[in-house]
Amino acid sequence: MESLVQIGSKGARREARPEWLRIRLETPARYHEVRALVDRLNLNTVCKEARCPNVYECWGEHGTATLMILGEICTRSCGFCAVSSGRPRRGVDAEEPAHVAEAVAAMGLKHAVITSVDRDDLPDGGARHWANVIAAVHERNPGCAVEVLTPDFRGVPEALDIVLAAEPEVFSHNTETVPRLYRQARPGSRYDRTLALLADAARRRDQGEWIGRVKTGIMVGLGERDDEVAATIADIRGAGVEVLTIGQYLQPTTKHLPVKRFVTPETFAGYKEYARKLGFAHCESGPLVRSSYHAHEHVRAPLSQSGRDSVGFAGR
């Protein structure tokens, strides 16, 4: 059997990607059309900036892209993320909402996914710009659902008010990892603040202040144990989140956190079954799953009535 251990660029031993993580690279005409559109409108996408492994499928097969607003420089430096970090070189682009709306129209999207870098340099974390983008997409594309994958806005309470007032159909903020690994993986964020933001969005939904679904995502392979994954999934459901994505962490460069394990497809299936028993409306769980992967399918299933009192998870 072929060994899964290779020698890295600096002589360090690292695991090679297993067969289930091999990606088929294809660049059909549709892929080039999306790429040209993104370039023409001077848009940023998380597909390119975060080196998403599904870019060839999404751009080529589905003709979709996850648009990234508020620039390409993030004010935080997460140990897993390939997006450039530092001090943003410019303020807010007033033309960006119109450009995003035009891109959604050009791609003919019925479900648009929008994310952003962290902008801790802005008083509201960029919340007002988020609202302007949502409004522009809705106005230009009636009937198009807007899914927003936002930062935590540093816990500024009015930021969520501003974003939800623009009525996105899905509000998402990623949990990313288990609480024990937050200081290492997300030094500028806090686990409790993430859960509080998700819970606040769910509370507003339950009280009828906003109509939509609440979503989050986590990744595995950073060194977490399966019991920690199970506890985190339960915390997320307890916060009122309805939609969950779980995917394999892949090291973008040698400067980022190493992969500690490659989780098998069977274990991902176990995560999904556990989430289903907890009552999530939808859980997308697999090695190549990312937050926006097959996002349009995440809002179709009804909310499960299953409880969680007798649910257990057996790690593999």
Q: What is the pLDDT of residues 203-225, one digit of tens each?
A: 999 999 999 999 999 999 999 99
State how far the Cα of 57 lies from the Cα of 72, in Å rounded to an integer. Answer: 23
For the segment 20-49, the average pLDDT, to the nearest whole number, is: 62
Q: Per-residue pLDDT tens for 144-168?
A: 889 999 999 998 989 999 999 999 9
74-83, 123-132, 220-229, 270-279: segment of lowest average pLDDT = 74-83
DSSP-assigned beta bridge partners for residue 147: 113, 170
Residue 91 has pLDDT above 70, yes or no: yes
- Domain annotation for the chain: domains and CATH numbers: 28-297 (3.20.20.70)
State how far the Cα of 242 lies from the Cα of 100, in Å rounded to an integer. Answer: 27
Q: What is the 3-state secondary structure (H, E, C) of 199-248?
A: HHHHHHHHCCCCCCEEEEEEEECCCCCHHHHHHHHHHHHHCCCCEEEEEE
For the segment 85-99, the average pLDDT, to the nearest whole number, is: 90
Total-model pTM: 0.82
Residues of 75-114 as b/e, b for ≥16 C-beta within 10 angstroms? bbebbbbbbebeebeeebeeebbbbbbbbbeebebebbbb
Q: What is the mean pLDDT of the chain?
A: 82
Task: Give the pLDDT score at 304.
Answer: 42
For the segment 60-80, the average pLDDT, to the nearest whole number, is: 77
123: left (phi over 0), alpha (psi -120 to 50) or beta: alpha
Task: Give the pLDDT score at 285.
Answer: 95
> Which of the four pLDDT bands, split at 50, 70 and 90, describes residue 62?
very low
Reported residue count of the chain is 316
> Which of the four pLDDT bands, split at 50, 70 and 90, describes residue 198?
very high
For the segment 46-58, the average pLDDT, to the nearest whole number, is: 51
Task: Give the pLDDT score at 9.
Answer: 38
Residue 177 has pLDDT above 70, yes or no: yes
- Nearest-Å Rg of the Cα atoms of the chain is 19
